[in-house]
Structure 1
Amino acid sequence: MEKILERPRKFHITTFGCQMNEHDSEIMAGMLSEKGYEQASSREEADIVIFNTCSIRENADKRFFGTLGQLKKRKMGDKAEFTVCVCGCMMQQQHIVDTLKEKYPWVDVVFGTHNLHKLPQLLENLYTQQKKQLEIWPEGGDIVEELPARRLFRHKSFVNIMYGCNNFCSYCIVPYTRGRERSRKPEEIVREVKSLARDGVKEITLLGQNVNSYKGCGRDGQADFTDLIYMLAEIDGIERIRFMTSHPKDLSDKLIDAFKNCDKLCKYIHLPVQSGSNRILKAMNRKYTREAYLELVRKLREAVPDIAISTDIIVGFPGETEEDFEDTLDLAHRVGYDSAFTFLYSIRQGTPAARAEDQIPEEIKHERFNRLVEVVNESSAEKNRSYRGKTKMVLVDGISRSKEGTCEGRTDEFKLVNFEGNPGLAGSIIAVKITDSNTFSLSGERE
C-alpha cells in the first residue's frame, strides 16, 4: 500500500470491551502500519490517539468518557498536529454521538463498527481537507476481506468468522451496534488461517458474537460451525483451535462430539448462562431453560470429562427476586464453573429491558453480586486444585506479568500457568508439571 505521509505520525489505540474489539484494534493497527504510520507505546507519545469503544455496560461508557476528557488540555493546547479519533460500538448509538458533538467538539474523527476499513481514508481526508470527519454507517455492507492485522502475539491470532447478532436478548445492545449476523465464506477463513500458519501462528481463536450460529456459504455448499472447525483442523501448523462466544441455544450435539473427536479443538468452552432462573431467562429472551443448559453441561462432560467451562452471569436483572437469584446460585453450584465473568445489570438505552419498571436497587445488586462471586471463586479454586501434580502442555505467551523471572502460558483448558523460564520460550508448547494453584492461575515446573 502506498504511504500517504511525508513523515511518520505515531498512533496509539485504546481498546475497551471484548475480543472482537481487540481484533478490530489489531486490524486498525495493521492498516495504519501499512500506510506508514508508526505505533506508539503510550498515548503520551502518540500524534494520533484512537479510542475503540464498547457499549455493553455502563462502566465502559464512563471509563471512555473519563479517559477522553483527559486529552482536552493537550488537544486545545499547542499540539496542533494532535489527532483524536473515536470508533466502535458506542458510535453506533445516536445519543452517544450527540453527546460527543456537544461536549467533545474537539474530536477529529468519528466512525462506527461497519466502516472500520475506512480509517486510513478518513485520516487522509482530515489532513488534506483540514475538516473533521464523521462517518457512521447504519448497517454493514459486504464483508471486506484481506485486511492486515498487527497481532499482539506472533504465535496466536484472533480470526473473525462472522459479524453481528440476531438473538436480541432483552438487555443487550449488540444487535443494534454490530448489526445482523453475517458469516464469512469458509474458503476466505481457510485462506486467512493458512496465511497465519505460514507466519508462525500455532493457535487461533474464532470470533463472533455467536460463533455456533455460523452459516458459511462457500464454493462447496453450506458449512456450519463444526464443519468449519474440521476444515481448519486440517491446516498444517495450526495446533490449537479455540472459539468464543457461543450461545447455549445453538450448541449442537455435532459440536459437542467435535470436542471429543477433533484433537486440535481445545477442551474449553465459554458458555454464557446469564441467569439460573427460568423466569429471568424468559424475560432476557435467552430462548433456553436452566434444565436445557444443565443438559448441555452434562453432554459436554460426558464427551470430555475434563472439559473446562466458563460463563457470564448477570446479577440484578429487572424483576429478579431473591428466589430467582437463589436459582442462579444453585446452578453455579451444580455446574462448578472453572471461571465466571459476573456483572451487575446495566441499563442500555434502546433495549427492551431498559424500559422495565421493576429495576433492582443498586445495594441489592451489589449484595447479590458479592454472594455470587464467593460461589464462583470457590469453584474456580477447587477446579484449579485438581490440576496439582498433573503435567500439562502449555503454549508459552512470554514473560509473566505477575512475577519476575517467570514465563506464563495457557493449557489446552485455558488455564493460566506461571513457571520459571526465559523470553525465548514464547511460542513454544512445553510440558509443565503443576505444583501449586490459586483461584485464578496455576504454578508449575518445566519437565
Structure 2
Amino acid sequence: MFLRKRSLFVSIGQLFSERTCSQVASQSSKPESKIKIQNGPGLSHFLKNNPSKRREKIFPAVVDTHAYISPDQISGEGKKVMLVTFGCQMNVNDMEIVRGLLVQNGYSETTVESEADAILIMTCSIRDGAEEKIWNRLKHLKKSQRRPRTIAVLGCMAERVKSTLLTAPGDLCQVVAGPDSYRDLPRLLALSRSGTKAMNVQLSFEETYADVSPVRVDADSKSAFVSIMRGCDNMCTYCIVPFTRGRERSRPIDSIVDEVRRLRDEGVKQITLLGQNVNSYRDTSESSISLGVDSKMVDGFSTVYGQKSGGRSFATLLDNVSRVDDEMRIRFTSPHPKDFPTEVITLIKERKNICNQIHLPAQSGDDKVLEAMGRGYSRETYLSLVSHIKNVIPDVCLTSDFIAGFCGETEEAHQNTLNLIREVDYSFCFVFPYSMREGTRAHRRLVDDVPEEIKMKRHEELASVFREVTLRRNLSRIGETELVLVEGRSKRSANAVSGRSDGGIVVIIEERDKKIHAGDYVVAKITGGTSQTMIGEYISHSSIREYDNLR
C-alpha cells in the first residue's frame, strides 16, 4: 500500500526545476535517446527540443529504486545503526523521526562507529561549506571501514545532489534518501544489504510524519522540538529549501497537541515549534476545512504564491498548544515577517507561557537587495512591523538572520544593513556570508559578483555590530530579574547552572547547595553579562504564574 501511495507523489523538481526525473532501474546507463516512449513524448522531449527555452543541467538524472523487498527482509533484526546529524534543528528533529522509524523496524542504535552495521548521516545543503563537511565525513568513513557496512546520506544534500552521491569515485555511500523518504529507509537499507545501491528522493505534497513518534537522543532533556509543518513556498532567490524540502504542508492540529501533551507527561518544560516557515502553518486536514480562516498576511508584505485560505492558522495552533500546560514554555522558529498578523502578536503578549522572543529574519536592510532576494517587503515595511511588535510587547526580544555579500550588494547597501541592526536593537543575530546554491533562482537569474574577501569582511562587520548591540542590551539588564528555565550544568563554570530567560538569552547562575536542577524555574538577579550571555545571582525557585504575579 505504501509503495502504491508513494507513486502518486509528484517531485518538487518537476514543478520548480527545468529538469525531469528519470524513473528507471538503479545504476542504469541506457541513453535517453534510446529509451522507447510508450505513451507519447514527455515533458523532457519538449524542453529538449525547444531551443528558446534556457536549460541548465545541474544534477544527473534521478534514479529511484523501486525494487520489491519482502517484509521479513525489511526487518533490522537487531542490526546496529549510528546516526550522525549536521545542520539545523529541523535536521535534529528529522533524525528523531528516523530513529523512531528504525526502532519500529527492529534496529538498535550505537554511538560506536566500529560497531555500526549502517551509518546514517543527516545532511545540510544551505551552503557550500556544509556540503563539504559531508564529503569529508564520507571519505573518512570509507578510510576507516574495517568490515562491510552501509553508509546512507539523508536530508537536504541527498535531495539536492541525488545520484551523484552514489556514483562519486570511491563508493562513498550506498543509500540516498530525501526528506520525504524516511518511511522507506528500512526497505532501502535492506536493498543495500543485498548489494544494491538504493535511492528515494521523491518529494511529497502530503508527508508530514504526523503519525510517527520521534525518539529523542536525550530523553532526560527538559526541552523538546515539535515539527508542525514541512517545506516552504516562499521561493526566496538565495534559498535551496523549496527544492530540497518541497512545498509547504502542515500537520493536523490535533496530532501536534497530542505530541505536546505526551512530552508534558514525560516532564518536558519547554516546547519549540519547528517549520521552515513556521508561522505560515495552516491545518487544512479534513476536520479543519469547515472552520474557516482566522488570520491573513501582514499589510505591505507580498509573496510569490497567492493568499492561502481555509483551515486553521498558526494563531489557532499557538493558542491550542499554549493551553496544554501554562507552566510549559512555548517558542517557535523559523518564521517569516509576512506571517505576523496582529492576533499572533497579541496572543504572545497575553499568554504568559508563550515566550517574548520573536525571530524576525530580515536578511538585509537595503531595499534593492531585499528585492533581489525576493523577500516581499521593503526596509520601511519591516521596520513598521518591528514598531508594531514593540508597541504590543514592550519587553520583546527580537532576533534575526542576515546574509553578507548577496548578489549586487554595494557598500552602501551593506551600511544600510548595519544601521538596521543598530536601529532594531536585536538580542541576537545569525549572520552568514552568501553562498550561491545551484538550482536556486539566484543561480539562474543573478550574478554572484561580490568578491569572497569582501563577503568575509562584511560578515565580520555584521557580527561585530550585532555583538555591540547585544552586549549593551545584556548589560542594561544588570539589577533586573529574569525567570530562568534551567537546562543543566554550565559548561563555563563547574559551580554553576545554565538556562534561558524568557527572551531566550543564556543566563549563568552560581549554584547554591546543589538545589537547582534541570527543569526548575528560578528567579535570578542579573549581575553582569557578555554579548551572548548574562550572569545571574540566584534569588528563589518560582513558576511562570508566581513570577508574573510578582511583576
Shared fold per TM-score greater than 0.5: yes
CA apart distance, 1:120: 3.0
- Report Cα offsets for 1:251-282 as digits up to 9, x if no partner: 21111111211112100011100000001101
CA apart distance, 1:147: 1.2
Note the 1:269-348 alignment, pairs <5 A: 269-348=358-437
Note the 1:204-283 alignment, pairs <5 A: 204-218=271-285, 219-220=287-288, 221=291, 222-236=311-325, 239-283=328-372
Question: What's 1:413 paired with?
Answer: 503
CA apart distance, 1:45: 5.1
Distance 1:140 1:70, change over 3 A: farther
Give the secondary structure class of the aligned counterpart of 2:284.
strand
Question: What's 1:108 paired with?
Answer: 174
Question: What's 1:426 paired with?
Answer: 518
Letter in 2 for 1:117: R
Letter in 2 for 1:184: R
Give the secondary structure class of the aligned counterpart of 1:425.
coil
On the 8 A contact 2:118/2:151 being kept in 1, the answer is yes
Give the secondary structure class of the aligned counterpart of 2:431.
strand
Picking from 439, 442, 445, the partner of 2:531 is 439
CA apart distance, 1:445: 2.6
Is 1:202 matched up with 2:241? no
Distance 1:120 1:430, change over 3 A: farther
Give the TM-score normalised by the residue count of structure 2: 0.76
Note the 1:162-177 alignment, pairs <5 A: 162-177=229-244
Is 1:33 matched up with 2:95? no
On the 8 A contact 1:201/1:237 being kept in 2, the answer is no
CA apart distance, 1:100: 4.3
CA apart distance, 1:316: 0.5
On the 8 A contact 1:399/1:423 being kept in 2, the answer is no
In 1, distance between residues paired with 2:423 and 2:392? 18
In 1, distance between residues paired with 2:115 and 2:222? 27
Give the secondary structure class of the aligned counterpart of 1:392.
strand
Question: What's 1:126 paired with?
Answer: 192
Is 1:374 matched up with 2:374? no
Tell me the number of residue pairs that the alignment of Structure 1 and Structure 2 aligns: 441
On the 8 A contact 2:206/2:249 being kept in 1, the answer is no
- Report Cα offsets for 1:66-106 as digits up to 9, x if no partner: 1221111123xx312x321110001112x453154223524
In 1, distance between residues paired with 2:519 and 2:198? 40
Runs of 4+ in 1 over 4 A off after TM superposition: none
Is 1:385 matched up with 2:475? yes
Give the secondary structure class of the aligned counterpart of 2:163.
helix
On the 8 A contact 1:87/1:112 being kept in 2, the answer is yes
Question: What's 2:253 paired with?
Answer: 186
In 2, distance between residues paired with 1:177 and 1:5? 28
Letter in 2 for 1:430: V
- Report Cα offsets for 1:161-204 as digits up to 9, x if no partner: 11111110001000011111101111121122122222222211
Distance 1:225 1:70, change over 3 A: same
CA apart distance, 1:237: 6.4
Moved more, 389-398 or 375-384: 389-398
Q: RMSD between aligned alpha carbons? A: 2.2
Moved more, 419-428 or 148-157: 419-428
Is 1:144 matched up with 2:209? yes
CA apart distance, 1:444: 1.8
CA apart distance, 1:391: 2.1
In 2, distance between residues paired with 1:120 and 1:357? 42
Picking from 91, 94, 97, the partner of 1:24 is 94
Larger strand share, 1 or 2: 1
Give the TM-score normalised by the residue count of structure 1: 0.93
Question: What's 1:79 paired with?
Answer: 147
Letter in 1 for 2:81: F
Give the secondary structure class of the aligned counterpart of 1:50.
strand
In 1, distance between residues paired with 2:327 and 2:173? 42
On the 8 A contact 1:204/1:238 being kept in 2, the answer is no
CA apart distance, 1:160: 1.1
Give the secondary structure class of the aligned counterpart of 1:70.
helix
Question: What's 1:362 paired with?
Answer: 452
On the 8 A contact 2:404/2:455 being kept in 1, the answer is yes
Question: What's 2:38 paired with?
Answer: none
CA apart distance, 1:43: 3.7
